[in-house]
């Protein structure tokens, strides 16, 4: 802490000049500025953060129903009370800098903190906010105070912050940070001392709550063991206890499978599940959270053997949920995986399938991937209704070819009713003539808000799989972006967290195809190596609203997008269909970042 004490007053014209010369002339003002601050400035510049303003993402609604927030709350309230109206803000963050709680008695300071987004739901991690008390303390893993011009972003120059990471009393891992922020003019060396004491008090509260919870856990575990002869396990984070019956009967992979199921039951708030363990044993797992009624990571599990014949779910030894590894397909979100699984199952069952969804969602790619997955050596024929002059004849020819194992027909929505009739005829003729093992046939159907009518063709296709729009599985963008960048730039290009964050915010009306196109343009016109920064994104993407949408707003955004798609992008028509004025739809398009 030697560096902290060498800054009397904490700020000076010297620091201001040093910052200016660092930002303007790339000078390294060693000696004029504290070493940890200079190191943080360098990191902030590498991340291409703006130095003239604070520009933060709203990350998520803070989750206050969690051990850190629950244990810290009484400590924060006591401190807030003791500060007795002084202009000092008491701030608690998660370990990634996300602000959970802010207590400020002074209205002027409170308004200023709102202006610079030092508020619940925003992240003050260094990667977003640059040098600051919270983010830099978390980055360094130790106490840090940052005064006035030491902040990287100019908007923070009137503030002084003292941040201290909070380490978990048992695991020793950083679980969050405490920060005290005041006006720069009021700051003194006591600020950091007070922040350290508060961090210690929160640690002690965490230990008390943890010990109390683990005591209760052991108590519940013993009680459960007394009530039953079944296998009983209790777990909480790193802690696991089990009775003799469980130790005798469960090998490592069965134990791991049971713990994974227990965690899932806790997360989903369910109380029981019937499963088949990796060893083949069929059991019912009952989960009792400890304590009950709050979100917790601790539970007592009772494991009861189940008679054969009763329905159970099979749990594989490798814990994570079964994942259809369709070649070349990226994404792990629930909606995307469910869709992959449906298409994969349909291929294996030889069930002809319609893949319907908005343009560019990956319908064709999915159908082709299912074929590659299940029959990589077999031939696949692809026809496009929008570019084939006599589709019916082409389909007949492909179906007559014994080597064709799969046939994918794209853009069925473009078929006129007479073409549809011809196609139905072609299918029936070919099926009558052909061998007993017809190929798998998939149709892709690009839809707006209404499904095009496939008429008599539909009975041939007993299954329709709806491929979700990208905005309904936006979390997959985190995987899709590096995947596309590495393919398009042959591995030379990465995406900065800020640019990725912005890509995650877009509504992607053109779906995955549009995301790929945007990245392709960046690779072609801007960069081939290095890091894609926010400034490399097209202008319309840079200005997208950064806040998270409520469920209602998401529905409204979807309705606007669908109406625009239905009306070929004509805003006047789209507004009329939605019963909105033109001015309103323009505002919604702007607010929701629809392009
Ligand atoms: N999950 C994914 N992983 C990797 N690439 C994907 C994924 N989804 C889509 N793509 C890619 O996105 C692009 C568009 O996909 P595709 O052509 O299959 O969309 P589509 O729904 O059939 O489009 P359209 O309705 O316009 O015909 C392709 O380059 C495809 O490879």
Q: What is the pLDDT of residue 7?
A: 45
361 C-alpha vs ligand 1 centroid, how far in Å? Answer: 5
Q: What is the pLDDT of residue 507?
A: 83
482 C-alpha vs ligand 1 centroid, how far in Å? Answer: 16
Mean pLDDT by 10 residues, the chain (595 residues): 40 83 78 87 87 83 88 96 92 95 95 96 93 95 94 94 92 91 89 94 91 85 90 83 88 82 86 84 90 82 76 48 71 89 90 94 96 89 90 89 91 89 85 73 84 80 91 90 89 85 86 95 78 83 60 74 82 86 82 72
Nearest CA to ligand 1 atom 18: 362
Residues with C-beta less than 6 Å from any ligand 1 atom: 328-331, 357, 359-365, 410-411, 444, 446, 480, 512-513, 516
Task: State how far the Cα of 146 lies from the Cα of 136, in Å rounded to an integer.
Answer: 9
505 C-alpha vs ligand 1 centroid, how far in Å? Answer: 20
Q: What CATH class does 228-314 carry? A: alpha beta
Judge contact between 28 and 45, C-beta under 8 A: no
Q: Where in the chain are the domains?
A: 2-208, 228-314, 334-468, 471-542, 551-591
The strand pair at 239-242 and 231-236 is best described as: antiparallel
**Cis peptide leading into 396, omega within 30 of 0?**
no
Q: What is the pLDDT of residue 319?
A: 43
Measured from the Cα of 368, ligand 1's closest atom is 18
Name the architecture of domain 2-208.
2-Layer Sandwich (3.30)
∠ at Cα 486 (482, 487), nearest 5°?
120
Q: What is the pLDDT of residue 547?
A: 56
Instruction: Give me the CATH code for the 551-591 domain, please.
Output: 1.10.10
Q: What CATH class does 471-542 carry? A: mainly alpha
Q: What is the pLDDT of residue 487?
A: 87
Measured from the Cα of 476, ligand 1's closest atom is 1
524 C-alpha vs ligand 1 centroid, how far in Å? Answer: 20
For the chain, the first-to-last Cα distance in angstroms comes to 51
> What ipTM does the predicted assembly reach?
0.99
Q: Do domains 334-468 and 551-591 have the same CATH topology?
A: no
336 C-alpha vs ligand 1 centroid, how far in Å? Answer: 12
414 C-alpha vs ligand 1 centroid, how far in Å? Answer: 18
Phi/psi for 279 (5° steps) reads: -75, -10
Topology of domain 334-468, CATH: Rossmann fold (3.40.50)
> Does this model's pTM top 0.95?
no
Q: What is the pLDDT of residue 3?
A: 39
Q: Which of 329, 364, 469 to mutate to test the pocket of ligand 1 (most atoms within 8 A of CB)?
A: 364
């Amino acid at each position: 802490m030697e560096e902290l004490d060498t800054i009397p007053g904490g700020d000076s014209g010297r620091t201001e000049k040093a910052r200016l010369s660092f930002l303007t002339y790339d000078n390294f003002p060693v000696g004029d500025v504290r070493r940890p601050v200079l190191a943080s400035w360098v990191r902030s510049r590498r991340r291409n953060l703006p130095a003239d303003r604070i520009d933060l993402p709203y990350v998520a609604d803070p989750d206050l129903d969690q051990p850190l927030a629950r244990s810290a709350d009484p400590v924060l309230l006591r401190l807030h009370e003791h500060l007795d109206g002084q202009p000092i803000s008491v701030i608690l963050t998660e370990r990634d800098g996300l602000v959970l709680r802010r207590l400020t008695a002074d209205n002027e300071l409170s308004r200023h903190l709102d202006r610079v987004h030092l508020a619940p739901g925003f992240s003050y991690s260094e990667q977003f906010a640059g040098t600051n008390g919270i983010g830099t303390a978390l980055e360094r893993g130790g106490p840090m105070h940052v005064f006035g011009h030491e902040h990287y972003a100019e908007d923070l120059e009137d503030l002084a912050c003292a941040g201290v990471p909070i380490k978990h009393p048992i695991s020793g891992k950083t679980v969050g940070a405490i920060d005290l922020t005041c006006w720069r003019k009021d700051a003194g060396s006591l600020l950091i001392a007070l922040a350290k004491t508060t961090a210690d008090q929160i640690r002690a509260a965490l230990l008390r709550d943890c010990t109390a919870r683990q005591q209760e856990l052991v108590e519940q575990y013993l009680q459960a063991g007394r009530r039953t002869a079944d296998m009983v396990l209790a777990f909480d984070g790193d802690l696991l206890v089990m009775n003799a019956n469980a130790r005798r009967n469960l090998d490592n992979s069965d134990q791991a499978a049971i713990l994974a199921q227990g965690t899932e039951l806790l997360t989903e708030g369910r109380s029981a599940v019937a499963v088949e363990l990796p060893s083949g044993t069929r059991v019912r797992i009952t989960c009792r959270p400890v304590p009950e009624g709050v979100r917790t990571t601790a539970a007592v599990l009772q494991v009861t053997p189940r008679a054969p014949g009763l329905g159970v779910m099979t749990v594989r030894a490798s814990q994570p949920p079964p994942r259809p590894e369709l070649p070349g397909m990226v994404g792990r979100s629930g909606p995307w995986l469910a869709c992959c699984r449906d298409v994969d199952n349909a291929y294996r069952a030889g069930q002809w399938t319609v893949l319907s969804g908005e343009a560019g969602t990956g319908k064709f790619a999915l159908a082709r991937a299912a074929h590659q997955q299940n029959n990589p050596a077999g031939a696949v024929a692809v026809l496009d209704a929008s570019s084939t002059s006599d589709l019916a004849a082409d389909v007949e020819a492909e179906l007559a070819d014994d080597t064709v194992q799969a046939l994918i027909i794209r853009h069925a929505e473009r078929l006129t009713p007479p073409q549809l009739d011809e196609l139905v005829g072609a299918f029936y003729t070919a099926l009558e003539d052909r061998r007993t093992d017809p190929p798998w046939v998939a149709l892709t159907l690009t839809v707006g808000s209404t499904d095009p009518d496939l008429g008599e063709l539909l009975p041939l296709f007993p299954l329709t799989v709806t491929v979700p729009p990208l905005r309904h599985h936006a979390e997959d963008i985190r995987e899709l972006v590096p995947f596309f960048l590495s393919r398009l730039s042959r591995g030379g290009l990465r995406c900065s967290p800020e640019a990725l964050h912005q890509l995650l915010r877009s509504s992607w009306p053109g779906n995955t195809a549009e995301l790929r196109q945007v990245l392709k343009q960046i690779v072609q016109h801007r960069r081939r190596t290095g890091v894609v920064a926010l400034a490399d994104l097209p202008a319309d993407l840079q200005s997208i609203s950064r806040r998270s949408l409520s469920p209602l707003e998401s529905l409204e955004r979807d309705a606007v997008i669908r109406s625009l798609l239905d009306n070929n992008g004509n805003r006047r028509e789209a507004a009329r269909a939605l019963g909105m004025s033109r001015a309103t739809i323009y505002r919604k398009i702007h607010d929701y970042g629809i392009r």
